[in-house]
Structure 1
């Protein structure tokens, strides 16, 4: 049976739709395992590469600023492309762009061309934002009470690659040296292969396209209006819950990126080597994604509001622990960065569910893309100022500011919930 026939059956037959949902999750999971490997390069050695080439840690946050700005642009483009052509094309081309950017980073580092490095990091950001946007692909055919769980399945798949990647920085650095390349460019070799592989998987296998099927189902059933009476927002087809969900994810992104970006530099000041940096960042990224299966079930079971508030509190705790940790205490740094990942995980899944609940197929991908632009810009701001704050004050100050930033969305969530402005969907 070809993709067109499968799509037609899924539109009319709930059992065929459920089968297609499971198949979609499998394909997206495969792409996310690969995409997770690509994330490690920018997160783990991006700041180290810039510090080495520029000769100052003051600009250590610049790589994060650049690839998150690139992520913002690509999130906008992928969202628009998905709205017109479906998830397969949007996500597939987004990953491909990220892979090309990773190759360009290696070439720029080899030629010691700092301006080419900046441009390449910007393009590399397309892979990081596409990896994050893929979480929405799992929700297109999911029922409302299963959306957070579907998001979590996609996110947990990122864990294997995202945790393995930082712990490969030492051997990848050795490989780069053997190839006559700068040591810090090694992880970007892996990113290039991983992002390009993820793009190929989606472009070839994601047929029929889950979003296009969901769009047809909505058209056939006249399901083009958000159901909850409290979901009305200033844009037609976009409920207020989408804005609240965006606020939750923006605040958590600032918190997470600001603290995470400068942790490798802070550890370097206190004598920690590549192995310790890889361990801390690997566990942090694992905490960002591994709890997802449990988190998704909790968001669907106990509601979006509770988990968003809990996530903000965990982010604050992470910042306090990081600020109080002696620089030579590997255990406390691990604790702080694991809490940082868990808090981000809670807020991202709860915020994503709020966005999906408050949108319809007629507006969903472009709204999701626009929100991910805001998330990327928030990460760019967090990464961009993190080096300046650390150089001007201290890592402890940066950590406290990051923790408070993660808490800022909590009053917004509670206010909107009390005013009846959002759907707090949960299982009966």
Structure 2
């Protein structure tokens, strides 16, 4: 049981109010459980955007070149959302930040349904961007899980929240099985019906966070470390300068960004590639589900690896696996088994790189700048995904699926070399 501290004045109109004693370890476990439950519900949306969003984009735009547009819009929304939600977390706490993001994502799911009904491609992109804020919530949630962690539990706590996304992420793409029934009941277009489930999942996650994330983890963490400054605004310039003083964190961000860019690029056009080679929509949904399961289901294993063999080694191993996966996908051509296997390997590589890299970022940067740098890392990750998604559709149309994956291999190999070099520099 910790000794009583003072609640930060910014939450009490300038007055210092004595805080009740808190069992920090118990609160840490409960916070992880709450965040994990919200991830299960919110994860329904991720699979919907990937598996159905690209098909809706092609249908409404009339060309494969726009296949990655919804994913791009979602990742841009995630990038902007990451910065905004990090700032909101600093000012008002994790609960307010996560709840706001989930509410915006639910509005985005509704917007996609309306876009399908009206056959409006621009509205589809707006809805995708708002749903991307839900992805920013998922990203921030893994860092929120470490607010009360020790060095011995950090990677495990983070990976458990990532792992919790498995259920929703795997179920989400396979909701296409129910789109016909929902369409008959509601009169909505078949593919749009999937986003009804996504919206309901976001609202459920919002309720869980609002009710369960009390007391505020950042308040308790600030009191534990005697730092009420967790509530002060940290400008982007200061966050960048602080990050630059920690080479291991810089290397971690580089690795996470590269892994995410490759993953989004390959994943966003694989449904279109498979459909073009005769794959049924159910097989596409299964393939994406296996990919998402690989991303999330073994996250705790990646957390254990990061703790036992080192986060840096796990990060590098993940990037190597990403390169191998892109090579398998590119060499698979019209072989659905090889493409599915490659996409599963891609998910595993992404998981290792993301868990290990995020653990480094969460542990290597101390002080009030920590939350801002986490938001910066998430924004960079999402922007890289947006770039990968934007180029993926064009790449598919210009150089084909094989050429796109060859470029992905080069990116992953280059990132591996950069991580090895940068992480060896001395902190300053």
TM-score, normalised to structure 1's length? 0.90
Pair 1:342 & 2:348 matched: yes
Shift in CA distance, 415/101, structure 1 to aligned 2, threshold 3 Å: same
Residue in 2 aligned with 1:196?
203
Give the stretch that moved more between structures: 366-375 or 250-259.
366-375
Q: Secondary structure of 1:139's partner?
A: coil
Q: Cα RMSD (Å) of the superposition?
A: 2.3
CA gap of 1:336–1:89, structure 2 versus 1, over 3 A, is same
For residues 222 and 326 of structure 1, what CA distance do their matches in structure 2 show?
Answer: 54
Unaligned runs of 5+ in 2: 1-6, 8-16, 231-238
Pick from 411, 416, 419 the counterpart of residue 410 of structure 1.
416
Aligned equivalents of 1:273, 1:259: Cα separation in 2: 19
**Aligned counterpart in structure 1 of residue 21 of structure 2, from 9, 34, 41:** 9
2:86 is aligned with 1:82: no
- What is aligned with 1:138? 145
Give the SS at the match of 2:368.
coil
Task: Find 2:305's aligned residue among 290, 294, 298.
Answer: 298
How far the C-alpha of 1:22 sits from its partner, in A, is: 0.6
What is the distance in 1 between the residues matched to 2:417 and 2:18? 45
Equivalent residue of 2:278, what SS?
A: coil
1:322 paired with 2:352, answer no
Q: Answer whether contact 1:237 1:359 (CA < 8 A) is retained.
A: no
Equivalence for 1:20: 27
Please give the residue correspondences for 1:321-400 in structure 2 after superposition, counting only pairs within 5 Å: 321-327=328-334, 329-400=335-406
Contact persistence 2:247–2:425 (CA under 8 A): no
Q: Which residue of 2 aligns with 1:228?
A: none
Map residues 5-84 of structure 1 onto 2, 5 A cutoff: 8-10=20-22, 16-84=23-91
1:160-239 matches, cutoff 5 A: 160-219=167-226, 234-235=241-242, 239=246
TM-fit CA distance, 1:335? 0.9
Q: Assess, with a 3 A threshold, how the Cα gap between structure 1 residues 20 and 330 changes in structure 2: closer, same or farther.
A: same
Higher alpha-carbon deviation: 358-367 or 385-394:
358-367
Give a deviation string over 1:379-427, Cα, whole Å, max 9, x none. 00000010101100110111121232223322222123333449xxxxx
Alpha-carbon contact 1:240-1:358 (below 8 Å) kept: no
Does the aligned pair in 1 maintain the 2:333–2:401 contact within 8 Å? no
